[in-house]
Amino acid sequence: MKIGSGVEAGRIASIGAATDFSFRVRESSLKRAMDVVLALTVLIFTAPLMALLALLVKLGDPGGAIFVQVRCGRNGETFNCYKFRTMRVDAAERLKHLLETDPAARAEWETYQKLRHDPRITFIGRFLRKSSLDELPQLFNILRGDMSVVGPRPITSGEIFRYGSNFRYYSAVRPGVLGLWQVNGRNSLTYDQRVAMDIEYVREWTIWSDVKILFKAVPVVLGAGGAY
């Protein structure tokens, strides 16, 4: 299986993880322990809610309740990232048509990789995105060791070029359910600003920075700040 042009699935070679520096976050058993405890705790309390949301997703639009997409992780390894499906089953065709026929939407997509008025998103999907509940299945990614609670948001192989040589910072850590840019502007930020914050997070990481992001995330998520 191939990703992009001749890049082997399961590993993003050559661009891969940093080899010229060592990050405390990579060796932090405390961070991993915190990830597991938080993920298990949230999963126990939200299991009934997740079952209900899965049912609503399926009733709202034909197709599976869980959306699985290959994302880039630590050391350049790829993994299957889980989310509740928020888009219609013909989302790819809808996006292609929109970008070909609407210059304003195309410009917005090129800047943010998101659309404020996205025709692909279902009714229940808008609620899930606003409330960030679509991310709940990523608790399983955390338990599997693919992701962390806090870290750079997981990207696809098609987004690597936006990081340039700084991709080594991104791939030095596990991607997170919560990121620094999510609590500092979220979708109102340009992609370049998001990349800068991902790099800042990795370079300046401490366990206390994770704790600060967790506390800052509470009002952001509850208020749906910058979410769409």
Residue 117 has a CB neighbour count (10 Å cut-off) of 9
Categorize the per-residue pLDDT at 23 as very low, low, confident or very high, splitting at 50, 70 and 90: low
pTM of this structure = 0.79
Tokens 């994302």 found at: 71
162: left (phi over 0), alpha (psi -120 to 50) or beta: alpha
Q: Which residue has the tokens 């399961």?
A: 10
145, two tokens: 């060791």
How far is Cα 188 from Cα 132, in angstroms, rounded to an integer?
16
Query: Tens digits of per-residue pLDDT, 137-195?
Result: 999 999 999 999 999 999 999 999 999 999 999 999 999 999 888 888 776 788 888 99
> Comparing 96 with 50, which gets the higher pLDDT?
50
